[in-house]
Chains A and B, each alone.
Chain A
Amino acid sequence: MSAALFESIPLRGLDAASAERVRAGGQVRSLEPAEVLYRVGEDADALFVVVRGRLQEDSGGRVRVLGAGETAGAEAMLGLPRRAEVRADGPAEVCEVSAALLERAWTRAGGRLAMQHERRRLERSALDDALRSTEGLADLDEAARGILLDGASLQSWTPGATLQHAGDAAADALMVLDGVVHAIDEDGTVAHVALRGDLLGVDAARAEGRWTRTLVAAGHVRTVAIPGAVLRRVVASTPARTEARDAARGDIIALLRAGAAELPDLDRLERARSLLVLDEDRCVRCGHCTWSCAATHGGEPRMARVGPRVTARMGGEDARSAPWRLAQACQHCSAPACLGECPTAAISRDAAGTVLIDPSLCTGCGACAKACPWDAIEMSPRPEGVAMPLGDSPFPLLASKCDLCAGGAGPACVQACPTDAIARVQPGRDFVEVSALLGTRARPAAARGPRWGGWVATVLASVALLLGAWGAAQHQHGWIAGAGPGWVAGVLGACAVVLSAAHGVRKRLLGRWRRWTGPMRPWVLGHAVLGSVALAGAWAHTGGHAQGRPAVLAGAFIGCVGLGLLGVFAYAVLPAVLTRLEAGEVSARPLEDQLLQDVGGRAEALKQLAAKVLVPYARQRGGGLLLLLSGRSLAQEQAVVLARLQDRLGADRLARIEGVEGVVRTVVAIRAARVRPWVHRLLRLWLAPHIVLAVVAIALLGLHVVTGGA
């Protein structure tokens, strides 16, 4: 980067440290004639200073030519998407400077007035767009719009900030530009949520009234404040009531929540571009996703299978509603909080929106990890060979997070899932409910691959087993093991055994020293089908009775395949059972502690109820098994327990005891927690004997082949 560049308007007057960081974090790009630098609507993280040649900025027909030293793309400073299309006017060279870095540099240098005019122009244009698409403000005339734009101001809020307290005078109405706002009732419950484009407090601001609910930012929020006086001048009447929409929203949120205690994290669902979700009804909790992630990233996994749960349909209106666990992994936000916090611009986005960390720029300060609301960034030891930025930096940490397995054939976690339960989705597009909530367009096709694999495998396995049974019956009609079709069946079975074992060898042995790519699911299905073929072959080979050493082989073999089929059954049935027994959030807090906290400081009646009825219920011998067999989910069980309490105490008396619901929730959770490990064990238990028997069977098979059938 030339020294002359630092004389351009945006970069002039920076202090030495800032200039050094801009130099390190920026890059010079050469453009071909007419090459497009960016288009309208793209993400904007950087602005461009023209080094050589000229650029043409086309904002909806208004064309501006930018010469050397001029700046394009300042909307990045406001966190807005591109508002114009810029292309090279002849060969050109531009310098790309991270907006977050520049913002820091300016602040350090003591603020910057030179860009204020440009800022204001962009802000106004963005506000204009936002107002045009807002219900009730869309059809204003130009004069009214001008007044509105002059009066309105942009505000931003950090997560958890209180926008307005209930009871405060409503001087301004608020329009949500970005993010999610919770309107909270006096008792602390979220009465409704406001999303992008919603107007809040118009009535109150017009009438100089007060806020009736406290508004809290659920994440990073930007709002436009429109003073009441301006509203009174330009808006003749209150915009159409939004109550119907609020009710519809409430319904959708209830669907997403599906009886869980916590509210779905709408902010997360809105921002996520590539959210890692696990279908809990299919997820067999095997951990392949995390292992493969760790294997891909030098032993440090960049995802964890924990997080809240939402219930949603993916892939169209007719799709099955499934409980999705939102895993802890980078979701490549549309407005990443980490990106703006990085002091050296080590975090950037590629054209597809994937958020990436450049290890050569990362100082390991951890600002991004703290900024991420979902803890998706982990500070891990800096691997050998990754240079320290800033020369002799003594800091041995490096920020690491999901990079969607850059350079691989897709994310390893998704590839490695044996049951196809895991997917990377954009909730606003792939989840029907979320897209309805956000008003975005749902994508009818599923984000996941074809779902017919399981059915094909089942049919193939069944056909193989039927053929095997037929072959076994033929032994009554002259088939023998040692020759003819019986012998051929045996050889076929042996081949199937060997091929089937390839899955295990690939996974357990080769996987240790070589990373395998490609989806796991076909291998698993193939393994199951080949196992069935092997069993069928053996059946047709022996005719159902073997003696001596072959009998032992047959026994080991049947045990191995039987355990495998048991595993298939467990994988098909148990995940849904587990899901039923799990609360929405996987919580690490000991439940007994939770119970004490639930009853602590409450009325004596609640303590008595807990001690005499609810704790014995929680600790009842075999209670977990009863819950498992009843087939009820935790929410349903809570309802049943509450109904039983009501029968016992009477509805009036129960209603007078405060905090019963919390205690019931906890005792039901305790009861479920006692049986859940056993379901987990059932999911795992078959595997080790299956592997050991497979090894035994293959060894005996080798012997059987070598000794020619003895």
Chain B
Amino acid sequence: MRRWRGLGWLCAALLILVVSAAWLLRSDAPSRHGITGSHAAAGLACGDCHRAPTQTPDCGTCHGAHPSTRTGHGRARASGAMTCTSCHRVHHDVGGVTFSAAGATRFGPGGSVSVPTAASPEVRGTVAVVPLDACAACHDPSADDDPIARCRLAGDMNGCFDEHRRVAGATLGTVTGAQDRLILWTHAREVVARRPEPPTRALSGVDGFAIAVSLAVFVGLLVWSFSGAEPAKRPVATVNVQPPKIRRLPQIDASTCLGCSACVDACPYDVLALDRYVAKVARPEDCCGLTTCAQLCPNGSLVVLDGAPIEDRPGVHATLESVDVPGMFLAGDLTGMPLIRNAINQGAVAVREASVGLTPGRADLDLVIVGAGPAGLSAAMEAKARGLNFVVVEQGTLAASIQSFPRGKLVFDQPLHVPLVGALWLAEATKEELLRQWTRLARQHALPIRTEHRVTSIDPVAEGFAVAAVSADGTVAHWQAQRVVLAIGRRGSPRELDVAIPAPMEPHVHHSLADARSFAGRACVVVGLGDVAMEAALALSYAPQTSVTVVARGDDFRRGKARNIESMRRAQAQGRLSIRWSRSVQAVRAGEVQLDDGSCVPADSVFVMIGSIAPWSFLASVGVRRVGPAPAVVERPRG
């Protein structure tokens, strides 16, 4: 929709109409109270007739007093119901015929025209022609028995030659000479028959100009008020959804690097870091290979170069269909193409391709989408738009991977110039805004999302695929669908402890920490020493009355953010938490955890944060293979 400039300009347009109406209806306008015809030609002004506002104009001053002598007219005049202007409507449609030496002239409110006449030039005088509707106030012009039937003009002509005195009487005061009224009338009838309508007054040049201008301004303002900048259309271009085949890495020229941290801030995966005002590649393994950093480097100190081929990705066709399992489509981080934007594009493209060649009614569902991250949501939106019968199965919650971003993080957008399909993006959104938008979209479109359902198997069957999932409370759900879109990302599922968890402890073993304060007053054991574990331990240690024990496999801090390590050391020195170095968990029992040295640590809650298992084993179980050789299980620290 076009933008609307506002009510004000619309009002202005309407005002123009009002003003031009006022102009047309003003007192000297031709159609109303203007001074018409011969009066105007005689140079009369209002005040010449209307000496005072209440006084009836006295026409006799110029025209001589010759009131109608008909009995009825006389009575009406006497009662004041009739004046000269009752019939001769001087401001409205006064008209008639004038005979002069130059011939006959038909005059009316708009002036006069010459009309050929058979009358001799000696015929002089003026005959007023009164329109029938002036008489209609008292008479019925259509009735044959009405007195005016006699003096009506012939045929349908709209006029009346009434006389002020009977035909046998004297001549009219204005008729000069000895011509008989009857001759005058005969010729007048002939003239009126030739030219029935008197010339109506045309609009003057000024009026025409004023009206034209005001109409133009009106239309202009109307257009202006409704027109505005067309909102920029989202470019719909062919999007690249093909995952990269070669790993790319930034290279930094330390001698020219400004140390401005533009690249560090641009990197969505914290690959780069600033060290003594020079940027360096701190975590090359997390590099997504896109050139955001290089694009933001102000002086070209950073370039992204090609490196080794990427083998840690599943094989897909150009349509995102799996090379190994026909009918199964892959989208999102899983394909090896990072960034939320790409995931959104891939989700939409995967569904577009998956919807080709569906047979209606072959299975319960057209489509099962596994995962409700950016790619899965985008796929769901596309499926909804295409009217497919589908379900989204998610092991955690909506966009769990985005929820694990740091609070307030700006999810990067420009200047990647990645065109976009789908409605999931917000320009320059923070994580919270994006999540809110997605939750709102899922709610608005009533997307069928089953959260807390972990897919356990996807088996090819005659109708397509049989998908089984187990929910958090242990119930198993089955679906049959013609196609499957896998959008499960690369985070996989959290790595579990290699010990049996007794039933009473099961609700108290966690893999993530959402709200530390809800563990107030509890004894907590955190297993692991990655960033996620350290942040959880620190948050727990600041919750009221918690006791926190961290169980670490190594004998010192080995990796992690410097800030976390420093905070951990401080917390340890403050006695907020204790770290059990070089230990692992031997057994978990109700209320305590036994370590491998045999000691027991009281534990109301256990946080197992020892990384996650990449989804390769799951992928292998459904038949999707990697393109090249790589270890069977890839460990990645979470977060």
- Shortest beta-carbon distance from A24 to chain B in Å: 12
Q: Which residues in window 239-268 of B have CB below 8 A to A?
A: 255-262, 265
Q: Which residues in window 39-84 of B have CB below 8 A to A?
A: 46
> Which stretch of A56-64, A351-359, A423-431, A546-554 is in the interface?
A546-554
Whether A552 lies near B23 (C-beta < 8 A) is: yes
Chain B residues whose C-beta falls within 8 Å of the C-beta of A549 in the assembled complex: 23, 26, 28
Bound-state Cα–Cα, A395 to B276, Å: 23
Give the residue name and chain of the B residue nearest to A105 (CB): B277
Whether B277 lies near A343 (C-beta < 8 A) is: yes
Whether B9 lies near A393 (C-beta < 8 A) is: no
Bound-state Cα–Cα, A364 to B214, Å: 52
Whether A366 lies near B262 (C-beta < 8 A) is: yes
Give the residue name and chain of the B residue nearest to A597 (CB): B436
- Shortest beta-carbon distance from A666 to chain B in Å: 14
Instruction: Write 20 A-B pairs (CB below 8 A) sorted by A numbering.
Output: A107-B277, A186-B544, A363-B298, A363-B299, A364-B298, A365-B261, A365-B262, A366-B262, A366-B265, A547-B27, A548-B27, A551-B22, A552-B23, A555-B22, A681-B6, A684-B6, A685-B11, A688-B6, A692-B13, A692-B16
Q: B504 an interface residue at 8 Å Cβ cutoff?
A: no
Q: Which residues in window 457-479 of A have CB below 8 A to B?
A: none
Whether B440 lies near A108 (C-beta < 8 A) is: no
Return the CB mask of A557-592 against B: 1 if under 8 Å, else 0. 001000000000000000000000000000000000
Q: A104 an interface residue at 8 Å Cβ cutoff?
A: yes
Bound-state Cα–Cα, A344 to B262, Å: 14
Whether B6 lies near A343 (C-beta < 8 A) is: no
Chain A residues whose C-beta falls within 8 Å of the C-beta of B221 in the assembled complex: 692
Q: B574 an interface residue at 8 Å Cβ cutoff?
A: yes
Best-buried of A364, A547, A549 by chain B (most CB within 10 Å):
A549
Chain A residues whose C-beta falls within 8 Å of the C-beta of B298 in the assembled complex: 363-366, 390, 393, 395, 397
Return the CB mask of B278-307 against A: 1 if under 8 Å, else 0. 100000000000000000111110000000
Chain B residues whose C-beta falls within 8 Å of the C-beta of A363 in the assembled complex: 258, 260, 298-299
On B, residues with C-beta under 8 Å from A are 6-9, 11-13, 15-16, 19, 22-23, 26-28, 46, 206, 214, 217, 221, 255-262, 265, 276-278, 296-300, 436, 440, 542, 544, 574, 576
Chain A residues whose C-beta falls within 8 Å of the C-beta of B297 in the assembled complex: 395
Chain A residues whose C-beta falls within 8 Å of the C-beta of B258 in the assembled complex: 21, 343-344, 363, 365
Whether B217 lies near A685 (C-beta < 8 A) is: no
Whether A104 lies near B277 (C-beta < 8 A) is: yes
Given contacts A343-B259, A556-B19, A696-B19, contact A691 B12 (CB under 8 A): yes
Whether A685 lies near B8 (C-beta < 8 A) is: yes
Chain B residues whose C-beta falls within 8 Å of the C-beta of A225 in the assembled complex: none
Q: A168 an interface residue at 8 Å Cβ cutoff?
A: yes
Whether A692 lies near B265 (C-beta < 8 A) is: no
Q: A689 an interface residue at 8 Å Cβ cutoff?
A: yes
Whether A107 lies near B276 (C-beta < 8 A) is: yes
Given contacts A367-B260, A685-B7, A689-B15, contact A108 B277 (CB under 8 A): yes
Return the CB mask of A151-170 against B: 1 if under 8 Å, else 0. 00000000000000101110
Chain B residues whose C-beta falls within 8 Å of the C-beta of A696 in the assembled complex: 16, 19, 214
Given contacts A15-B255, A390-B299, A703-B206, contact A593 B440 (CB under 8 A): yes
Q: A17 an interface residue at 8 Å Cβ cutoff?
A: yes
Q: A3 an interface residue at 8 Å Cβ cutoff?
A: no
- Shortest beta-carbon distance from A674 to chain B in Å: 17
Give the residue name and chain of the B residue nearest to A364 (CB): B298
| Other-chain contact of A169, B12, B256, B574 (Cβ < 8 Å) | B574
- Shortest beta-carbon distance from B549 to chain A in Å: 18
- Shortest beta-carbon distance from B578 to chain A in Å: 16
Whether B259 lies near A547 (C-beta < 8 A) is: no
Bound-state Cα–Cα, A206 to B185, Å: 129
Bound-state Cα–Cα, A341 to B46, Å: 82
Whether A395 lies near B8 (C-beta < 8 A) is: no
Whether B278 lies near A108 (C-beta < 8 A) is: yes
Chain B residues whose C-beta falls within 8 Å of the C-beta of A593 in the assembled complex: 436, 440
Whether B19 lies near A552 (C-beta < 8 A) is: yes
- Shortest beta-carbon distance from B111 to chain A in Å: 19
Q: A687 an interface residue at 8 Å Cβ cutoff?
A: yes
- Shortest beta-carbon distance from B501 to chain A in Å: 28
Bound-state Cα–Cα, A167 to B546, Å: 12
Bound-state Cα–Cα, A364 to B262, Å: 9
Q: Which 8 A-B pairs have the closest CB atoms?
A: A365-B260, A688-B8, A363-B298, A692-B12, A343-B258, A688-B12, A365-B298, A395-B298
Q: A39 an interface residue at 8 Å Cβ cutoff?
A: no
* Known contacts A684-B8, A689-B11, A692-B13, then 18 further A-B pairs from the complex at CB < 8 Å, ordered by chain A residue: A15-B255, A108-B259, A167-B576, A186-B544, A343-B259, A366-B260, A370-B261, A390-B299, A394-B300, A548-B27, A549-B28, A551-B22, A552-B26, A555-B22, A688-B8, A692-B221, A693-B12, A693-B15
Chain A residues whose C-beta falls within 8 Å of the C-beta of B7 in the assembled complex: 681, 684-685
Chain A residues whose C-beta falls within 8 Å of the C-beta of B261 in the assembled complex: 365, 367, 370
| Other-chain contact of A551, B27, B255, B277 (Cβ < 8 Å) | B27
Whether B277 lies near A17 (C-beta < 8 A) is: no
Bound-state Cα–Cα, A57 to B206, Å: 84
Whether A548 lies near B26 (C-beta < 8 A) is: yes
Give the residue name and chain of the B residue nearest to A685 (CB): B8
Q: Which residues in window 635-663 of A have CB below 8 A to B?
A: none
Q: A686 an interface residue at 8 Å Cβ cutoff?
A: yes
Whether A370 lies near B265 (C-beta < 8 A) is: yes
Q: A629 an interface residue at 8 Å Cβ cutoff?
A: no
Whether B259 lies near A104 (C-beta < 8 A) is: yes
Q: Which residues in window 665-710 of A have CB below 8 A to B?
A: 681, 684-689, 691-693, 696, 703
Whether B259 lies near A692 (C-beta < 8 A) is: no
Give the residue name and chain of the A residue nearest to B25 (CB): A552
Whether A393 lies near B16 (C-beta < 8 A) is: no
Chain B residues whose C-beta falls within 8 Å of the C-beta of A693 in the assembled complex: 12, 15, 19
Best-buried of A15, A21, A365 by chain B (most CB within 10 Å):
A365
Q: A16 an interface residue at 8 Å Cβ cutoff?
A: yes
Chain A residues whose C-beta falls within 8 Å of the C-beta of B217 in the assembled complex: 692
Best-buried of B13, B19, B257, B296 by chain A (most CB within 10 Å):
B19
| Other-chain contact of B8, A110, A547, A689 (Cβ < 8 Å) | A689
Given contacts A165-B542, A344-B258, A687-B8, contact A552 B299 (CB under 8 A): no
Give the residue name and chain of the B residue nearest to A686 (CB): B8
Whether A395 lies near B299 (C-beta < 8 A) is: yes
Whether A552 lies near B12 (C-beta < 8 A) is: no
Chain B residues whose C-beta falls within 8 Å of the C-beta of A703 in the assembled complex: 206
Bound-state Cα–Cα, A681 to B4, Å: 13
Bound-state Cα–Cα, A691 to B13, Å: 11
Chain B residues whose C-beta falls within 8 Å of the C-beta of A681 in the assembled complex: 6-8
Give the residue name and chain of the B residue nearest to A563 (CB): B15
Bound-state Cα–Cα, A353 to B370, Å: 59
Give the residue name and chain of the B residue nearest to A549 (CB): B26
Return the CB mask of A376-410 against B: 1 if under 8 Å, else 0. 00000000000000100111010000000000000
Bound-state Cα–Cα, A363 to B16, Å: 54
Best-buried of B206, B221, B276 by chain A (most CB within 10 Å):
B276
Chain A residues whose C-beta falls within 8 Å of the C-beta of B260 in the assembled complex: 341, 343, 363, 365-367
- Shortest beta-carbon distance from B306 to chain A in Å: 20
Chain A residues whose C-beta falls within 8 Å of the C-beta of B257 in the assembled complex: 17
- Shortest beta-carbon distance from A482 to chain B in Å: 12
Give the residue name and chain of the A residue nearest to B21 (CB): A552
Bound-state Cα–Cα, A685 to B7, Å: 6
